[in-house]
Structure 1
Amino acid sequence: MKLKTLLMGAVASTAFAPMAFAEAHEGERGRDGEVKVIYWQAPSILNPYLSSGTKDVEASSLVLEPLGRYDETGALVPYLATEIPTLENGGVSEDLKTITWKLKDGLLWSDGTPFTANDVKFTADYCMNPEGGCAQLAKFEGVSSVEVIDDQTVKVTFSEPMPNPYGPFMGGQSPIIQAAQFADCTGAKAPECTEANFNPIGTGPFTVTEFRPNDVITMAANENFREAGKPAFATLTFKGGGDATAAGRAVMETGEFDYAWNLQLAPDVIAKMAEGGKGKPMSAFGTLVERLELNMTDASPDLPEGERATAKHPHPILSDEKVRRALSMAIDRELLVEVGYGQAGRATCNMVPAPELYASDNTDCLTQDIEGAKALLDEAGWTDTDGDGVRDKDGEKLALLYQTSTNAVRQDFQALIKDWWSQIGVETELRNIDSSVFFGGDPGSTDTFQRFYADVEMYANNFDGTDPQSYLAQRTCAKFPSPETQWQGENINRFCNEEYDAMVAELGRTGEMEKRGELAKKLNDMLTKDSYSILPLVDRGRVSAASNTLGGVVLNTWDSELWNAADWYRMEE
């Protein structure tokens, strides 16, 4: 399969409009009153370039939009652009070094000012500013320049041929921000612009009325939204916080809310809630993987602030691949699935579990091997010299701090993994952090998953669309979160391998689909079974719930779950 196929195969009809996936429902904008959404992980910011937390990216997507999105099948569809650029329509150059986007006519920001190509270029410059830290920098991998051709046309140029040029401005992780609003918020100043970061001006169906971080967002219909009669709802209340159990009940049992995201609950709990009759669960598999990140740097509080969890100090225990592999061998992933997810989960050894083209056949981690793990630690020189059940080496205990967000399933996983690790002589301290803080982007907080002031941490994330190129590019050496980047960055565990970086570059310039699949699998394996720097646990199906009276909802695992909120409407019960 050659380059042209790659650039056309995943692209839906350029005549697509989001309403195609919702039942036609004519009427005035705001006719259906209020819609209420609950995310038990509360948003802490509405600028996805300053947070890689899913809850922040998805809340932002109600206001900020990209040029194109991925639909529920993973196909590329235009939003602010007239069409998806391809080789066939001339939007992608024959040498594969440029992609040119044409904007729809008459687009307005929610403040009534024109949306132009200058805003698109500004967005790229904002994220790529070397003095700042951008949480979505991998989306701009290989970009050498972004040029305004005219008010309606913008051209992205890559330093090398880019067979998959759909990183910048595609999907909920790479929306357009308004140049006028963020003009004084670039580089190191970006986190300081509270007003812009909490109340962005957008082109999406809703505007921010009030944002209370880690609590509630109130929104109103965007009167300048490009589609007449949309959104159907005059206001949107976005409640954050609590837990997954309360969120599920609020939709399926009490009917207090219309949509509940990410019901990370045991399957029997969800089934019981559905008996409430007010709403129904929805589920679909995508690329969401619950994993353990093993810190490759030393996060000890004994180090000076500014040096903790940085490349200056390798991890004194986890720098040893044998230790990392032993930790993986001790885990019974099948039991984790049974306890936490049932049919909504699959044990996995891959960080990229789908699509099939990119999924490695690695199954080495699926068999628990406690005795093998013990032998490996013996080989690495970690033995229990004083008989207290905890291994030691050169006077240091094999003791780890293992953190994650507060959630019943995750705390069950922590307890099980702590027990398995104790069986091989590892002492584990457990810590859980409120999810709104853990997944927030506050550069002043020491409790975010990006800062990673622990030895091991557990969470899940996924990538926009069906191509993992940008996702895999997150793990290159240059993308460490650090004090210099205000603790933004996508290489969470500070893995660094020059061979990996070179292979990411090779993936970026490879067009043949079979070869791209081979490279992606090798990159996945370098992170998992070769280095054991990431320990995948469960390929999680996305489970959310919608009220029986909420129409137009289309569950999408390839983009923001709120991707088509403009099409939602109220139905009769």
Structure 2
Amino acid sequence: MKLKHALWASAAALAAGPAFADGHEGERGRDGQVNIIYWQAPSTLNPFLSGGTKDVEAASLVLEPLARFDETGTIQPWLVTEIPTVENGGINEDLTQITWTLRDDIVWSDGTPFTSEDVAFTYEYCTHPEGGCAQATKFEPVESVETPDATTVVVNFREPTPYPYTAFVGGESPILKKAQFEGCLGAAASTCTEQNFGPIGTGPFVVTEFRTNDVIAFEANPNFREEGKPAFAAVNFKGGGDAEAAGRAVMQTGEFDYAWNLQLAPEVIQQMEAGGLGVPVAGFGPLVERIMLNNTNPDPSLPPEERSVVRPHPFLGDPAVYNAMSMAIDRPLLVEIGYGQAGRVTCNWVPAPEAFSSTSMTCDTQDLEGAKAMLEEAGWVDENGDGVREKDGVELRVLYQTSTNAVRQDFQALIKEWWEEIGIATELRNVNASVFFGGDAGSPDTFEKFYADVEMYANTFNGTDPQAYLARGLCDKAPTPATQWQGENISRFCMEEYDALWNELSQTADLSERQRIAKELNDMIVQNGGMIPLVHRGRLSAHANSLGGIKLNVWDSELWNIADWYRIGE
């Protein structure tokens, strides 16, 4: 029996193409320079070599996917003529093949043709076994990519794939230029500094200077496909500092036009907005602040090539331990002090879209006494009276790391207090965000390397279907030395049952069944020691009153429509 593709086909068929005209017409570059500040500074412009949102979004000014998601979460054709569906013949009836037809008016910023060979090469680049591609889950169902002609890309799937919009779709899966990157396959990927810092793209801007963890200079792409766009001739992309300074630079001093990810207390945002020069913009997508649990052993006495690779962890595999750690946390208080209206208590890894959000778990009430009793019953006791529980010679001592940020340090301080109250000694560590999310294989401080017992951060996924995101829990997606410490399964969680259930999701077409399986996968990883979700966070950024065309997008890169930005009143 042939599988149906009804939901995704009908949704995609509504996407007739990007129509984001702002009515602000004129010559390309007419509005001078726009100033953007990301307090987490980008460390690369190759999103395949970093799991950091900051790097993916900075790269989106230059590199583009075949299709992406607009501010409503609707898939839109970007470098292609239309979204392939079963109805229009772009997807075959048995759901094992999708055919993309490239637009014939696209060229790379250097004026050379953009062809199907570039798309096929991108697949080869990200799936190379020695490359350590940070976005490998997007290509998980793909068996091969064919190029019958210069404008046709045929993606073949290993099995019927009801949701085929992962590879080459969204800001996390853009197209690389083959002629520029063909010498950077496999282990050579991280050594190609010139390419990674200055990719040639099809987007509205080109890179003129890249200073890692500092400043990026862009100028308008003279070969961009839309006449009169971008309105800005240049982008000054400043990285570093902290969220508070970034917010003030837009809303109070006017030094910058756009500030990303203002992870600040609500009262601080209100004070900044009173400055009158800018406004905050917010929206809820699937962004979750959570604590990842290391399923391997980060003991510094192990050789570097074994830390966070050898399993199991000395005690975090015990359900009594990770459940007690979760029970000890007062999530409503974290929401109140950290995010206010821009935060919600969550027990889920995937809190949105609502249809995919599990309702089977509750965690909105702190239970310190219950946590103590659970540990006691499991044999974790404080035998010597030093306040630290132990069992069979193993003490409950954790190194808890995160990126440097005022809200995160407040969270750390409170959670340390609660964990120590139930007998878990907690050492705190924070790392500069640009380094923590930087993806440098040589650094011991990246969140992928995970040289700690637990670590806290947030990330999200492109689009409204969580299939590729849930693939981050697959056993073979763990970062290791063999993958240049790249990989999306940060906790090194591994369950055969999870892998099998995800495989079922990837072959399921019925929407209600997809929702059921996705919820079950969510529950499985949370309930079996993959992570401790804390807060469902709204994305909060700010832009100058003089900046027009902003459409905050929680389903793709925030800079997804920068080609449509313009200066008001100029």
TM-score band, normalised by the shorter chain? over 0.9
Aligned equivalents of 2:13 and 2:39: distance in 1? 33
Aligned equivalents of 2:22 and 2:106: distance in 1? 24
| 1:448 partnered with 2:446 | yes
Q: Which segment drifts farther, 391-400 or 553-562?
A: 391-400
- Which consecutive unaligned segments of at least 5 residues does structure 2 have? none
Aligned equivalents of 2:393 and 2:497: distance in 1? 34
Report the identity percentage: 65
Q: 2:356 aligns with which of 349, 355, 358?
A: 358
Give the corresponding residue for 2:509: 511
| 1:16 partnered with 2:35 | no
* CA positional deviation for 1:389: 1.0
Give the corresponding residue for 1:477: 475
The one-letter amino acid paired with 1:321 is: P
The one-letter amino acid paired with 1:368 is: Q
SS of corresponding position for 1:208? strand
SS of corresponding position for 1:420? helix
Aligned equivalents of 1:533 and 1:324: distance in 2? 9
* CA positional deviation for 1:357: 1.5
* CA positional deviation for 1:142: 1.2
Give the corresponding residue for 2:330: 332
Give the corresponding residue for 2:85: 86
Once the two structures are superposed, residues 82-140 of structure 1 have per-residue CA deviations (whole angstroms, 9 ceiling, x without a partner) of 11111111111101000000000121101111000000000001001112211000000
Task: Assess if the C-alpha contact under 8 Å between 2:329 and 2:366 holds in 1.
Answer: yes
Aligned equivalents of 2:117 and 2:199: distance in 1? 17
The one-letter amino acid paired with 1:15 is: A
The one-letter amino acid paired with 1:384 is: D
SS of corresponding position for 1:474? helix
Trace 1:108-507 onto structure 2 (pairs within 5 A): 108-310=107-309, 312-507=310-505
Aligned equivalents of 1:326 and 1:54: distance in 2? 31
The one-letter amino acid paired with 2:535 is: V
* CA positional deviation for 1:363: 3.4
Once the two structures are superposed, residues 144-183 of structure 1 have per-residue CA deviations (whole angstroms, 9 ceiling, x without a partner) of 0000011000000000000000010000000000000001
* CA positional deviation for 1:391: 1.0
The one-letter amino acid paired with 2:70 is: D
Aligned equivalents of 1:546 and 1:415: distance in 2? 31
Aligned equivalents of 1:451 and 1:552: distance in 2? 38
Once the two structures are superposed, residues 412-443 of structure 1 have per-residue CA deviations (whole angstroms, 9 ceiling, x without a partner) of 00001000001101100000000000001111
* CA positional deviation for 1:80: 0.4
Give the corresponding residue for 1:561: 558
Aligned equivalents of 1:205 and 1:158: distance in 2? 32
* CA positional deviation for 1:356: 1.6
SS of corresponding position for 2:427? strand
Aligned equivalents of 2:87 and 2:10: distance in 1? 11
Q: 1:534 aligns with which of 520, 531, 536?
A: 531
TM-score under structure 1 normalisation? 0.98
TM-score under structure 2 normalisation? 0.98
Once the two structures are superposed, residues 209-243 of structure 1 have per-residue CA deviations (whole angstroms, 9 ceiling, x without a partner) of 00000000000000010101100000001000000
Task: Assess if the C-alpha contact under 8 Å between 1:344 and 1:541 holds in 2.
Answer: yes
Let me know the Cα RMSD of the aligned residues: 1.0
| 1:545 partnered with 2:542 | yes
Aligned equivalents of 2:315 and 2:456: distance in 1? 18
| 1:47 partnered with 2:35 | no
Task: Assess if the C-alpha contact under 8 Å between 1:299 and 1:309 holds in 2.
Answer: yes
* CA positional deviation for 1:22: 4.4
Counterparts in 2 of 1:383 and 1:22: CA distance versus 1, 3 Å: farther
* CA positional deviation for 1:368: 1.1
Task: Assess if the C-alpha contact under 8 Å between 1:81 and 1:102 holds in 2.
Answer: yes
Aligned equivalents of 1:15 and 1:369: distance in 2? 51
The one-letter amino acid paired with 1:315 is: H
Aligned equivalents of 2:457 and 2:114: distance in 1? 36
The one-letter amino acid paired with 1:37 is: I
Counterparts in 2 of 1:498 and 1:5: CA distance versus 1, 3 Å: same
* CA positional deviation for 1:188: 0.7
* CA positional deviation for 1:12: 5.9
Q: 2:567 aligns with which of 560, 565, 570?
A: 570
Aligned equivalents of 2:165 and 2:379: distance in 1? 47
Aligned equivalents of 1:214 and 1:273: distance in 2? 25
Aligned equivalents of 2:21 and 2:305: distance in 1? 50
Give the corresponding residue for 2:32: 33
SS of corresponding position for 1:11? helix
* CA positional deviation for 1:14: 4.1
Aligned equivalents of 1:22 and 1:42: distance in 2? 30
Aligned equivalents of 2:209 and 2:11: distance in 1? 38
- Which consecutive unaligned segments of at least 5 residues does structure 1 have? none
Number of equivalences:
568
Counterparts in 2 of 1:12 and 1:418: CA distance versus 1, 3 Å: farther
Q: Which segment drifts farther, 247-256 or 2-11?
A: 2-11
| 1:5 partnered with 2:2 | no
